[in-house]
Amino acid sequence: MIGLTHYLVLTGILFSIGLVGVMRRTNLLMLFFSTEILLNAVNIGFVAVSKFYGDLSGQMFAFFIIAVAASEVAVGLGLLILWYKRNGSVDLNSLQMMKG
Amino acid sequence: MNDFLFIFLSFFALLGAFGMIVLHQPVHSALSLIVTLLALAGLFALLNASFLFAVQIIVYAGAILTLFIFIIMFLNVKESNLPKEPNKTLYLFLGGIVLIPLNLLVLRAFYAMPLLREPLAEDFGEIKPLGAELFTKWLLPFELISLLLLVALIGAVVFARKDEV
Amino acid sequence: MIALGCIALGAVLLMLLSAMPKVRMEHCSLFAFVTLLIGLILTLTSFGELFTFFPLPKFFHKMLIVDSYSVYFDAIILSGALVTSLIGTHYFQTKRHFKKEFFSLFLFSVFGMMLLVHASELLSAFIALEIASLSLYVMIGFQKVHDKRVEASFQYLVLGSLAGIFFLLGSAFVYAGLGTTILGEMGNRLDTLMGKDVSLVIIGATLILVTFLFKISAFPFQNWTIDVYDGSSLPVSAFMAATFKVAIFGFILRLMLVDFDPIRDTWDTLFIVVIIATLLYGSFLAIIQKSLKRMLAASSIVHTGYLLIAFVSIGYAGESAASSIIYYLVAYFLSAMGAFGLISYIAADEHVRVTYEDFRGFAHVHPYMAAMLSVFMLSLAGIPSTIGFVGKFYIFTGAIEAGYTFLAVCGVVATFVSVYYYFKLIALMYFYPACDSDWKDVPSLKGITPLTIGLIALAIIWGGIGNTFIAYFPGVDFLIDTARLSYMSLFIK
């Protein structure tokens, strides 16, 4: 029988994959994709917990997280286009000061 | 049946996510991400979240990913302009290994946690109770989200328009 | 509550107004100022009273809380925004590329910050945080002709959204452990679970803390601070340094004091390590900077360290530590605002004057400005007879009272080190002959911006002298008393 734990394991693995992607890829587009993976990992966790408790709050969280993701993507991609037009690069290292 | 579906869908979700971080071309990654998103939509349906199932497909896989692919096409990044990432696979592998203990820690914490389980209501996750909850209890976040989207809109306009000067 | 609505309404109205061709920059700036002023007046009407309630419970269901605590923070945030708009007047007028929408975004971010201290539920808090940060990202990148601005904005956005995800994951764990995300109820559930293994909640709360440590730029997450502050225009850096930090402390204090009170001891060791590292590394960064703006950014990391000292001592000396944080936030806000504001005023014309060397012999040419700048530096360094000293004094005595003598000693050492990089500027201004460079482009002391800066300088001295020499002094003691009161309002059941 598949229970809450399995879903949370899925959350954990997906989150780790996304985190590795954020830390190790230097393509700026990839950074946004990894962020989406991270958000989705959190979402599936919320919905699973929501079913477990029989409480709709978790689904609400997932719903709002999608909206937040959309707004961040809108601003982020705007900046990305601006950056690409100016520098012709989507390399993270083209951001001179980004070392951390 | 449910168990089989869970394994099937989560396999594809993980495969898509893995493909996304390993593939070199942004377009391939984006397509791989769609696989993950669709698989997760299926999981939402398994978890009685029918509304989220629709939202995930329409908004996420439909709108956001289309936006991404549009941007990729629009930028038309040449192969030579893609950042070179030597030892990428090795780094990804090492990163994965580092994160395993963290996962185990969370899992252990989860098993140790005394949880109070409540019985599931008959119509749990259906659209009617969900809508009622959204517009009564969660009215404030709902209104706030509209403001957030407004700010994002202004931001996108500010960044995208031409400077008049 | 009404103030909150007033700001939101003003922001939306301003957005609509800015589309009209007839409306000019000055009108927008004035409109923003008036909105903030009305908000502040509305806030001050209930300032200094002890109360707590949930507004419109029928609609908002305990998602929003109004108490003396949040009103106190509202007042700080609003006056911060007000001062920003005053000291920025000159800057925004002389620099091109600031469009009318800028002020709308400015009001939106103020709204987000106020909402953050009013939030009584994790999701609302997250959305408030996002509103504030998203408008800040855009404000930073507003002058998109400069690569530096776009870069700073991009860096802040990428790292900021990553930090936000940790907040979400943390709330997912807390929700899994406790089954609710409403502040207050979370605390009650946690109380019933005491004695059992609650490590899931602890992990979740730690992840939430990670986000906040990032936003206030504490040790492992401080790398972005200097670049982003340096990359943004001066009034925006001032706004970020002084106001955003206040709002974030406002929320995290509420979360820690009300809800995670039973498990707070778990983080003691973690915090001690973080504080020492923050103080050490921040001081190191501040010493090696050549640019004044980058030095101020680095020193803001050190000030975060002082604030965190008070934060850990809350466990054992609750009331005095909490009110010392609130008081120190006011002190830091005044000094940083003054320093950033004056530098932005001096740098407002085409010649950008931001390195130490640029200020060589400044006092001989512009004695009044040099005097004000010295006052701000003295206050940031915490020299007696300034408000910065009083703030530090409360924090260190609180730490000793709570038994963290070692941390207090570290703080004092960091203060001594800070004297080096703050006094370097004063020494350069006063003890060296004026350099050859032309000072003609420095604007004279006229208009609203220098007046505001002068008032801030007076307030700093007033706040410092009052408490040191006279037992009861109106203003300062009132601030402290209200801080105590607002702390008490958190625990009204």
Size of chain B in residues? 165
Residues C268, C192 contacting (CB under 8 angstroms): no
Q: Residue type at C65?
A: I
Q: Residue A14: is its pLDDT beyond 80?
A: yes
Picking from B9-13, B63-67, C85-89, C157-161, which range would have the lowest pLDDT averaged per residue?
C85-89
Picking from A36-45, C304-313, C408-417, C431-440, which range would have the lowest pLDDT averaged per residue?
C431-440
Of residues C80 and C462, which shows the higher confidence score? C80
> Of C267, C287, C239, whose CA–CA distance to C418 is shortest?
C287
Q: Taking the CA atoms of chain A, what radius of gyration do you get in angstroms?
A: 17
Q: Which residues from C are below 8 Å from A99, CB to CB? A: 223
The answer to the question of residue A61 being in a domain is yes
Give the separation between CA C335 and CA C175, rounded to whole angstroms. Answer: 40
> A95 and chain B: CB distance < 8 Å anywhere?
no
Q: ipTM value of the model?
A: 0.92
Indicate the pLDDT class of residue C403, thresholds 50, 70 and 90: confident
Which residues lie across from C67 on neighbouring strands? C52
Q: What was the pLDDT predicted at B146?
A: 92
Collapsed DSSP state (helix, strand, coil) of residue C66: strand
| CB-closest option in C123, C153, C157 to A64 | C123
Q: What was the pLDDT predicted at C242?
A: 81
Pairing status of strand C66-67 against strand C52-53: antiparallel
Collapsed DSSP state (helix, strand, coil) of residue C67: strand
Inter-chain residue contact A71 with C162, CB threshold 8 Å: no
Select from B71, B142, B158 the residue whose CB has the most chain A CBs within 10 Å, as the one to mutate to test that interface: B71
CB-neighbour burial class of residue B86 (10 A; exposed 0-12, middle 13-18, buried 19+): exposed
pLDDT in tens, C107-132: 999 999 999 999 988 999 999 999 99
Q: What was the pLDDT predicted at A42?
A: 93
CATH code of A85's domain: 1.10.287.3510
Across the range B66-90, mean pLDDT stands at 75
Give the separation between CA C347 and CA C366, rounded to whole angstroms. Answer: 14
Phi/psi of residue A91, nearest 5 degrees: -85, 135
Inter-chain residue contact A78 with B159, CB threshold 8 Å: yes
The H or E element spanning position C417 is helix C405-431
Select from C126, C131, C148, C161 the residue whose CB has the most chain A CBs within 10 Å, as the one to mutate to test that interface: C161
Give the separation between CA B41 and CA C357, rounded to whole angstroms. Answer: 59
Inter-chain residue contact B148 with C179, CB threshold 8 Å: no
Inter-chain residue contact A29 with B26, CB threshold 8 Å: yes
The answer to the question of residue A98 being in a domain is no
The answer to the question of residue A51 being in a domain is yes
The answer to the question of residue A36 being in a domain is yes
Compute the mean pLDDT over every residue in chain C, rounded to the nearest whole number: 83
The answer to the question of residue A2 being in a domain is no
HSE at residue C372, side-chain half, CA atoms within 13 A, is 25
- The total of structural domains in chain C comes to 1
Q: What was the pLDDT predicted at A98?
A: 47
Compute the mean pLDDT over every residue in chain A, rounded to the nearest whole number: 83
| CB-closest option in A25, A54, A74 to B121 | A54
The answer to the question of residue A1 being in a domain is no
Q: How far A45 CA sits from the closest chain B CA (Å)?
A: 10
In angstroms, the Cα distances linking C454 to A95, C38, C328, C369 are: 38, 23, 20, 9
In C41-85 the beta strands, taken as DSSP E runs, fall at 52-53, 66-67
Q: How far B108 CA sits from the closest chain A CA (Å)?
A: 11
Chain centre to alpha carbon of residue B161: 29
Q: C66 is in which domain, residue-wise?
A: 2-489
Find residues 20-79 of chain B whose CB sits inside 8 Å of chain A. Answer: 20-21, 26, 29-30, 33, 36-37, 40, 43-44, 47-49, 51-52, 55-56, 59-60, 63-64, 67-68, 71-72, 74-75, 77
Inter-chain residue contact C127 with A53, CB threshold 8 Å: no
Q: Residue B84: is its pLDDT beyond 70?
A: no
Q: What was the pLDDT predicted at B160?
A: 81
H-assigned helices in C95-222: 101-118, 122-140, 147-178, 185-192, 199-215
Inter-chain residue contact C131 with B110, CB threshold 8 Å: no
Q: What was the pLDDT predicted at C493?
A: 62
Q: What was the pLDDT predicted at C125?
A: 93
At which residue do the structure tokens 């200094």 appear?
Answer: C48
Q: A44 is in which domain, residue-wise?
A: 7-93
Inter-chain residue contact C8 with B147, CB threshold 8 Å: yes
Collapsed DSSP state (helix, strand, coil) of residue A25: coil
Across the range C262-283, mean pLDDT stands at 87
Select from B47, B108, B154, B163 the residue whose CB has the most chain C CBs within 10 Å, as the one to mutate to test that interface: B154
Q: Residue type at B28?
A: H
Q: How far C126 CA sits from the closest chain A CA (Å)?
A: 9
Q: What was the pLDDT predicted at C369?
A: 83
Select from A72, A77, A87, A99 the residue whose CB has the most chain C CBs within 10 Å, as the one to mutate to test that interface: A72
- The total of structural domains in chain A comes to 1
Q: Which residues contact C207 (CB under 8 A, 6 or more apart)?
A: C166, C167, C169, C170, C173
Q: Residue B35: is its pLDDT beyond 80?
A: yes
> Of A66, A31, B27, A21, whose CA–CA distance to C157 is shortest?
A31
Q: What was the pLDDT predicted at C114?
A: 92
DSSP 8-class letter at C351:
S
pTM of the predicted model as reported, rounded to 2 decimal places: 0.91
Across the range C159-163, mean pLDDT stands at 89
Indicate the pLDDT class of residue A99, thresholds 50, 70 and 90: very low
Inter-chain residue contact A23 with B102, CB threshold 8 Å: no
pLDDT in tens, C177-218: 888 888 888 888 888 887 777 888 888 899 999 898 898 888
Residues C14, C107 contacting (CB under 8 angstroms): yes
